[in-house]
Structure 1
């Protein structure tokens, strides 16, 4: 990469990061290119030259966010963590991501952009699910997952948590101690309400 390409990449990255910051605080409908340009310290023309439109910029910013999240997820899963730590990571991953991009905003973005929605679905099917299955299969082989529990049922249980995570997070925020509340949810995932500590 020559100096010009490196500078162009840095500018694009800055615009994308600024867009993500503004999305998390304002939502997509309130974002204006003029405000983005000012916050990123670039001209509006520069934004249009790199992205073409506000919609494409928002799509690319969200794709960048998802790609980084998947990469971090893959790296964590490849590290030397116990199965319990890995599953806990999967469940609690939503906690930090929802702070960065609220669930309502994600739904709004996916509903407004069919191409973005297809991309996210593809990443989920081709990367997230296979990696999760691999981790669960390793847990079955090592005896960390009970013989009486199938991989499909663990995946379904994780999906139940994910489908209700927005509600779980709202309840956690209303509790006296959010982290303790979420730790309790993870405990119930592994052990039920009467299981071992």
Structure 2
């Protein structure tokens, strides 16, 4: 990579970082190129030259965020961890993701950008579901999941949980001790409210 390409990458990363920071506090529709320009300390023309539009910039920032999360997830899942550790890791990854991008922002981005929605759907089908099934099968083989519980049962339970995840995260944030609240949710995920038999 020559000096020009390195400089171009630094500018692009600076713009994307400024945009990501703004997404933590603002709805996507309230973010303006002029505000990103000011925060990144670059001209509006520079932003348009690198990204073409605000929508393309938001898409690239979100895709970059998701791709990094997937890489981190796969790296951890390939490690030698128990099922409980893996599920706990997923929940705490979600907590960190929530701090960076609130679920409402993610939903708005996907409603506004059909290409982005298709990208997330593709990731879900090609990465999330196969990884989840793999984790379930490993859990059954190790005895961490009961043999009479099917992968479909676990996927349905996880889906119920994830459908309410933004509410759970809001409740965790309001509890005053998010980590302890989520640890309790992990405990209930595995053992219900009565504890391990």
The TM tier, using the shorter chain, reads over 0.9
Going from structure 1 to structure 2, the CA distance change for 1:56 and 1:50 (only over 3 Å counts) comes to same
Q: So what's the TM-score if we normalise by structure 1?
A: 0.94
Q: CA deviation at 1:77?
A: 0.8
Matching residue of 1:87: 87
Matching residue of 1:3: 3
Q: Map 1:38-117; keep pairs closer than 5 Å.
A: 38-117=38-117
The 8 Å contact of residues 59 and 116 in structure 1, kept in 2 or not, is answered as: yes
Q: CA deviation at 1:191?
A: 0.4
In structure 1, the gaps of 5 or more residues are none
In the alignment, the residues of structure 1 paired with residue 174 and residue 46 of structure 2 have an alpha-carbon distance, to the nearest angstrom, of 43
Question: 3-state SS of the aligned residue for 1:144?
Answer: coil
Q: So what's the TM-score if we normalise by structure 2?
A: 0.94
In structure 2, the gaps of 5 or more residues are none
The 8 Å contact of residues 16 and 61 in structure 2, kept in 1 or not, is answered as: yes
What do the CA deviations read for 1:93-152 (whole angstroms, capped 9, x no partner)? 221111111111111111111111001111111112211211221222222221111112
Matching residue of 2:168: 168
Paired residue total: 197
**Greater mean deviation of Cα atoms: 118-127 or 26-35:** 26-35
Matching residue of 2:18: 18
In the alignment, the residues of structure 1 paired with residue 182 and residue 87 of structure 2 have an alpha-carbon distance, to the nearest angstrom, of 13
Q: Map 1:133-148; keep pairs closer than 5 Å.
A: 133-148=133-148
In the alignment, the residues of structure 1 paired with residue 18 and residue 151 of structure 2 have an alpha-carbon distance, to the nearest angstrom, of 40
In the alignment, the residues of structure 2 paired with residue 110 and residue 193 of structure 1 have an alpha-carbon distance, to the nearest angstrom, of 35
What do the CA deviations read for 1:55-78 (whole angstroms, capped 9, x no partner)? 111111111111111111111111
The 8 Å contact of residues 91 and 182 in structure 2, kept in 1 or not, is answered as: no
Q: Does 1:125 align with 2:133?
A: no
Question: 3-state SS of the aligned residue for 1:194?
Answer: coil
